[in-house]
Amino acid sequence: MRTLLAALLLAFSLGPAFAVEPEEMLDDPALEARAREISKELRCLVCQNQSIDDSNAGLARDLRVLVRERLTAGDSNEDALRYIVDRYGDFVLLRPPVSPRTYALWFGPSLLFVIAGLGLVVFFRRRQAAPAETPPPLTGEERARLETLMDEDRKP
């Protein structure tokens, strides 16, 4: 049991494994850091929900190398990203850009939340505005019926 726990603890304490291989890395640590930052933003199109930083696919490797080449050539982070987006489209970005095409994606949930909140407010306001009507007092007949019902219950 204890060994199992230890093994589990060890497994979860390991950070995410990156696919970047040592020979891909740039000598300049600042440039390499920027490359890593960009790579995390880029989707590997072969295994779509991984970034190219995490993916072992050949294309992901090619794109990592390409990003580093662009940076070494003096591109800014934006330039390097743009270079790849120009070829693979917005889909290659793991974080979709805010544009009219993605407004529904970005603002839809908040909009739904606001609508639901408004609905709730209206619902409770209305309930408060219309105070519960006091029902008319019981008639003699009803009172008598109630008495008999209560008596029935009181009997053991």
Partner 1 sequence: MNKRLLFILPVALLIGIAVLFAVGLKHDPSIVPSVLLDKPAPSFDLAPLSNDKPGLATADLNGEVSLVNVFASWCGPCRVEHPLFMRLAEEGEVPVYGINYKDKAADAKRWLRDLGDPYTRIGVDRDGRVAIEWGVYGVPETFVIDREGTIRFKHVGPLSPEVLEETILPLVRNLQQ
**How far apart are CB 17 and partner 1 at their closest, in Å?**
23
Which stretch, 6-14, 25-33, 85-93, 141-149, contacts partner 1 (CB under 8 A)? 85-93
Cβ atoms of 92 and 51 closer than 8 Å: no
93 touches partner 1 by CB under 8 A: no
Which stretch, 1-9, 14-22, 25-33, 54-62, contacts partner 1 (CB under 8 A)? 54-62
Cβ atoms of 81 and 93 closer than 8 Å: yes
Number of neighbours of residue 28 by Cβ within 10 angstroms:
13
Q: At residue 138, what are phi and psi to the nearest 5 degrees?
A: -65, 145
23 touches partner 1 by CB under 8 A: no
Cβ atoms of 45 and 89 closer than 8 Å: no
Q: Give the burial class of 39: count Cβ atoms within 10 A of its Cβ; 0-12 exposed, 13-18 middle, 19 or more buried.
A: buried
**How far apart are CB 136 and partner 1 at their closest, in Å?**
25
Nearer to partner 1, 25 or 57 (CB): 57
Which residues in 113-152 contact partner 1 (CB under 8 A)?
none
66 touches partner 1 by CB under 8 A: yes
Task: Give per-residue burial for 98-130: e unless 16+ CB within 10 Å, then b.
Answer: eeeeeeeeeeeeeeeeeeeeeeeeeeeeeeeee
Which stretch, 5-13, 44-52, 130-138, 147-155, contacts partner 1 (CB under 8 A)? 44-52
Element (H, E) at 21: none
100 touches partner 1 by CB under 8 A: no
59 touches partner 1 by CB under 8 A: yes
Contacts with partner 1, residue ranges (CB under 8 A): 45-46, 48, 58-59, 62-63, 66, 85-91
